[in-house]
Amino acid sequence: MKWNALALLFVLVGCSSQAVPTLSADPAAWQSYGEERATGGYIVQSEKKLAEYSISGDVSSEQYQAYLDGYKVGKASYCEQDARMLARTGKPYRGICDDVNPFFRNDYMNYRHESI
């Protein structure tokens, strides 16, 4: 019984972890990753954090700029959505639109509280 509980714990922990990508030297991969992160509502990552995902263990300025370019595109798309609908679906808001739309967080929080 003890081993079954331990095995179940490992399965649950493994399933709850976010997949970590391995990024090639191709700037298009970095741009795509940046866009994907932003459309998911995640905050922008630092060069140091991204270096952990790089195949070479290093991030060039070109790669990081490609990531930021993709992130900018994804962020624009993410911040165009209705904050109330985001709250309605129960998805978390991590604050990436605060500098673009100062009302986004308020709309999200107000609707989140109304729907509880």
pLDDT in tens, 54-99: 777 888 999 999 999 999 999 999 999 999 999 999 999 999 999 9
Token representation of residue 2: 């003890």
d(CA 53, CA 36): 15
SS (H, E, C) the chain: CHHHHHHHHHHHHHHHCCCCCCECCCHHHHHHHHHHHHHCCCCCCCHHHHHCCECCCCCCHHHHHHHHHHHHHHHHHHHHCCHHHHHHCCCCCCCCCCCCCCCHHHHHHHHHHHCC
* The model's pTM: 0.76
**Average pLDDT of the chain?**
83
